[in-house]
């Protein structure tokens, strides 16, 4: 190349995607004056380039025009092909801009969300949910705001740039049977950005729907790939029905069957949403155990801990099932490998504040030490709990009217009751220092059963009052639910109330038949009465087509009674709900009711960040006090 003879011109192209190519062209190279070379052959044009002496050889492309295109993250990305999602996102962005200018959006916003929200925004959201009021419009726009623990810039921008939830849940973004209530949008906005969340809405406000829609948005946004839902066994059909209604595009499977079928569901199946009840989850605990933690029995059943399943999201329904921190169920739930932990319960505190601490051992492990004083709980939990009651968010929900019906024992009942009480108290006093709270409980249960039915004659003052009320219910074409603590009274009532077409729903009814019972009660106009036990029928069921509730006997905890009542007083109820609580005067029932009425406010006081006593149920002193007795430890102190 240094002489003016025919040679080779090396045209070098450096591209990360292609190997270096060298092309031979017969050209005449003039004597170079510098490192720059001018190439010119015939009509072939040339340009000045600089040959670098070191690799990689890079050729300048000259001056580049700077063109920048900014595209915000679309959230959620619709699960559709082509450019449909981009078009929808652009349309939603234009709608938000037009709304900010006060222009008409062409009907993109559903009518139910236009206008004033009617005061439906909950007053105590603690700043966790962004509710933006746009100029020129009276409606509120709900946006998810990351909690303080979200530190990454990407996550903060992700939720900052997304459109309001009203836009995400309209049009082609997500298909819904109908628009959620405004307060439900706030619940969705609370759940979406949180890795630790406890949705503690009062029963009947649709916690299941809020959790499903929040989960669905996370799936569509690509933020999670799989999820596990854990619920009580009777509620599995309800969750399946709600998933089909509110998330038809999310495949789901129910884990069940023999050990091999469950192994395949846990380890092999790639279904994004899995649904399991607490009992089976506890039985399959070995699937989540470390490799050295699988016992021989589990290995014999074909369970190994290789590649234990891990979930991006775990949802616990009726999460009060893990209120006992040391229970087997609570231990298994906490052992599930997961990224996000959500809990749903209308009663995060059933008996004492320790219930809430146990829940947070799952929701946010290590956040609340076991011995945390009660006064500190509100400040430690406020960022992770959302609690609303019907009176705050549903102005159009019919009222709940509660009345206490005081009845008298029949002469036969009174005789049996007085005999059992006098003999029982004598027996308790005779125990002396060996008396325990269990001895007192046995007497209380015996007396409460006599208040229901006389053990000799079968007479019942409550039954007489119930028959009169149910006759009015049947004549008006209405339906009623009757709750009892025991199965035996329900069986007796089924015989005595035959003229009203009674149906029974309790622990002895096989699970496969329970849905049939509920369907018959809902659809058969001749079935006016459903007899339910507190333990089986007080949680998770939607019975808003009945507007009469009778508490044939009282439960120990007012929170459980509220759960039972709210099976009927919930979203979808069109008529006032009339609740009748039977109380036998001058008996153990009257004394228990006085104690429980004094404690009914304690739950709301604690959740409302006020100081609260250490126990929400009946203490040992109160139980002994029903008969004028003193616990043994207090006797020693005296």
How many CA atoms lie within 13 Å of 350's alpha carbon, on the beta-carbon side? 18
635 assigned to some structural domain: no
Per residue in 64-99, pLDDT (tens digit) is 454 545 444 433 433 333 333 333 333 333 333 333
Two structure tokens written together for 590: 């009257």
Assess whether 382 and 516 both reside in one domain.
no
Helices and strands in the chain, H and E counts: 24, 21
Q: What is the pLDDT of residue 591?
A: 81
Burial class (CB in 10 A: 0-12, 13-18, 19+), 454: buried
- What's the mean pLDDT in 98-115? 33
Is 62 domain-assigned?
A: no
Query: Could you say which of 180, 204, 220 is where a domain stops?
Result: 180
Does 230 lie in the same domain as 205? yes
Lookup: tokens for 188: 């969705």
Range list of H helices, 150-258: 153-161, 165-168, 182-191, 207-220, 236-246
382 and 404 in one domain? no
Helix H, strand E, coil C: the string for 572-622 is: CCCCCEEEEEEEECCCHHHHHHHHHHHHCCHHHHHHCCCCCCCCCCCCHHH
Question: Could you tell me the pLDDT band of residue 333, with boundaries at 50, 70 and 90?
Answer: very high
Q: Is the pLDDT of residue 344 over 90?
A: yes
Helix pair 487-496, 461-475: axis angle to 10 deg: 60
Whether 452 is covered by a domain: the verdict is: yes
> What would the pLDDT profile of 3-37 be if each residue is shown by its tens digit?
444 444 444 444 445 455 555 555 555 555 544 44
Q: Which of 550, 534, 410 is nearest to 467 (CA)?
A: 550
Mean pLDDT for 361-379 is 87
Q: Is residue 188 part of a domain?
A: no
**Residue-range definition of the domain harbouring residue 212:** 194-396
Q: Is residue 32 one of the residues assigned to a domain?
A: yes
Shared domain for 418 and 523, answered yes or no, is: yes
User: Which is it for strands 140-144 and 129-133: parallel, antiparallel or unpaired?
Assistant: antiparallel
Question: Is 60 exceeded by the pLDDT of residue 352?
Answer: yes
Please tell me the predicted confidence (pLDDT) of residue 120.
Answer: 30
Q: Are residues 387 and 408 in the same domain?
A: no
Q: What is the CATH number of the domain that holds 249?
A: 3.40.50.10810
Contact status, residue 549 vs residue 578, Cβ threshold 8 Å: yes
Q: Give the residue from 363, 396, 429 where a domain finishes.
A: 396
SS3 197: strand
C-alpha distances (whole Å) from 458 to each of 102, 416, 463, 498, 612 are 71, 11, 10, 16, 43
- What is d(CA 543, CA 451) in angstroms, rounded to the nearest whole number? 28
Highest-confidence segment of 67-71, 346-350, 470-474 = 470-474
> Residue 457 is part of a domain; what is its CATH number?
3.40.50.300
Do 426 and 447 sit in the same domain of this protein? yes
> In terms of pLDDT, which residue wins out, 136 or 380?
380
SS3 content of the chain, % helix, strand, coil (to 5): 40, 15, 45
The residue-averaged pLDDT of 201-206 equals 82
- Is a pLDDT exceeding 50 seen at residue 504? yes
Name the strand (E) or helix (H) holding 28: strand 26-28
- In this structure, are 134 and 259 located in the same domain? no
pLDDT tens digits, 214-248: 999 999 888 899 999 999 887 888 899 899 999 99
Within this chain, do residues 424 and 564 fall inside the same structural domain, yes or no?
yes
Instruction: Tell whether 22 and 160 lie within a shared domain.
Output: no
* 473/597 same-domain check: yes
Collapsing DSSP to helix, strand or coil, 355 comes out as helix
For the chain, the first-to-last Cα distance in angstroms comes to 114
Q: What pLDDT does residue 76 have? A: 40
Eight-state DSSP code of residue 267:
I
Residue 365 has pLDDT above 70, yes or no: yes
Same structural domain, 216 and 279? yes
Q: What's the pLDDT band for 635 if we cut at 50, 70, 90?
A: very low
Number of domains in the chain: 4
In this structure, which long-range contacts are made by residues 51-60, counting pairs with CB atoms below 8 Å and at least 24 apart in sequence? 51/10, 51/12, 56/14, 57/12, 57/14, 57/20, 58/14, 59/12, 59/13, 59/14
- Asked if residue 168 lies in contact with residue 219, where contact means CB atoms within 8 angstroms, the answer is no
Taking the whole predicted model, whether its pTM rises above 0.75 is answered as no
Residue 630 lies in a domain: no
SS3 479: coil
Same domain, 576 and 453: yes
Buried b (16+ CB within 10 A) or exposed e, 532-546: bbbebbbbbbbbbeb
Average pLDDT over residues 105-132: 33
- Model confidence at 332, pLDDT cuts 50, 70, 90, reads very high
Examine the fold and report which residue of 124, 151, 180 is the final residue of a domain before the chain moves on: 180
3-class state of residue 253 by DSSP: strand
Q: What is the DSSP letter of 19?
A: E
Query: Has residue 633 been placed in a domain?
Result: no
């Amino acid at each position: 190349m240094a002489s003016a003879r025919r040679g080779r011109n090396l045209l070098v192209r450096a591209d990360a995607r292609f190997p270096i190519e060298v092309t031979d062209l017969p050209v005449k190279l003039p004597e170079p004056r510098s490192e720059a070379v001018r190439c010119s052959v015939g009509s072939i044009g040339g340009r000045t380039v600089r040959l670098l002496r070191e690799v990689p050889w890079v050729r300048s492309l000259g001056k580049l025009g700077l063109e920048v295109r900014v595209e915000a993250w679309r959230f959620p990305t619709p699960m559709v092909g082509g450019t449909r999602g981009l078009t929808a996102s652009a349309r939603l962005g234009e709608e938000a801009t037009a709304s900010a200018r006060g222009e008409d959006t062409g009907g993109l916003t559903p009518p139910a969300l236009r206008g004033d929200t009617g005061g439906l925004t909950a007053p105590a959201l603690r700043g966790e949910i962004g509710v933006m009021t746009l100029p020129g419009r009276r409606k509120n726009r709900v946006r998810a705001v990351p909690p303080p623990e979200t530190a990454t810039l990407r996550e903060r921008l992700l939720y900052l740039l997304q459109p309001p939830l009203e836009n995400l849940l309209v049009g082609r973004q997500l298909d819904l049977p109908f628009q959620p209530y405004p307060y439900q949008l706030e619940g969705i906005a609370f759940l979406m950005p949180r890795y630790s969340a406890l949705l503690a809405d009062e029963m009947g406000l649709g916690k299941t729907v809020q959790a499903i829609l929040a989960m669905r948005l996370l799936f569509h946004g690509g933020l999670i790939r799989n999820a596990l839902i854990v619920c009580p066994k009777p509620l599995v059909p309800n969750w399946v029905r709600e998933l089909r209604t509110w998330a038809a595009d999310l495949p789901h499977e129910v884990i069940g069957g023999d050990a091999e079928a469950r192994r395949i569901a846990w380890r092999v199946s790639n279904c994004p949403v899995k649904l399991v009840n607490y009992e089976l989850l506890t039985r399959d605990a070995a699937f989540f155990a470390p490799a050295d933690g699988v016992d021989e029995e589990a290995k014999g059943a074909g369970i190994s801990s290789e590649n234990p399943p891990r979930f991006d999201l775990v949802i616990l329904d009726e999460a009060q099932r893990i209120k006992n921190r040391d229970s087997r169920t609570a231990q298994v739930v906490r052992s599930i490998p997961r990224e996000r932990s959500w809990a749903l319960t209308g009663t995060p505190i059933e008996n004492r504040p320790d219930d809430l601490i146990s829940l947070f051992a799952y929701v946010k492990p290590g956040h609340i030490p076991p011995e945390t004083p009660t006064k500190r709980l509100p400040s430690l939990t406020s960022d992770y709990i959302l609690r609303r009651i019907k009176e705050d968010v549903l102005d159009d929900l019919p009222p709940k009217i509660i009345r206490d019906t005081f009845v008298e024992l029949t002469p036969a009942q009174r005789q049996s009751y007085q005999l059992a009480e006098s003999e029982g108290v004598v027996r308790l006093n005779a125990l002396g220092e060996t008396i325990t709270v269990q001895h007192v409980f046995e007497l209380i249960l015996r007396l409460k059963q006599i208040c229901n039915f006389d053990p000799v004659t079968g007479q019942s003052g409550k039954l007489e009052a119930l028959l009169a009320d149910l006759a009015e219910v049947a004549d008006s074409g209405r339906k009623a639910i009757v709750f009892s603590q025991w199965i035996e009274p329900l069986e007796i009532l089924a015989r005595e109330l035959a003229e009203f077409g009674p149906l029974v729903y309790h622990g002895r009814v096989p699970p496969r038949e329970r849905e049939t019972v509920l369907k018959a009660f809902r659809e058969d106009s001749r079935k006016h009465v459903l007899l339910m036990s507190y333990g089986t029928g007080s949680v998770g069921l939607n019975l808003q087509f009945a507007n009469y509730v009778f508490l044939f006997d009282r439960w120990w905890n007012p929170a459980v009674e509220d759960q039972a009542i709210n099976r009927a007083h919930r979203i979808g109820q069109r008529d006032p709900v009339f609740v009748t609580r039977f109380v036998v005067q001058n008996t153990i029932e009257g004394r228990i009711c006085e104690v429980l009425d004094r404690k009914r406010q304690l739950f709301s006081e604690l959740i409302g960040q006020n100081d609260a006593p250490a126990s929400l149920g009946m203490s040992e002193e109160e139980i002994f006090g029903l008969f004028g007795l003193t616990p043994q430890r207090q006797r020693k102190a005296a």
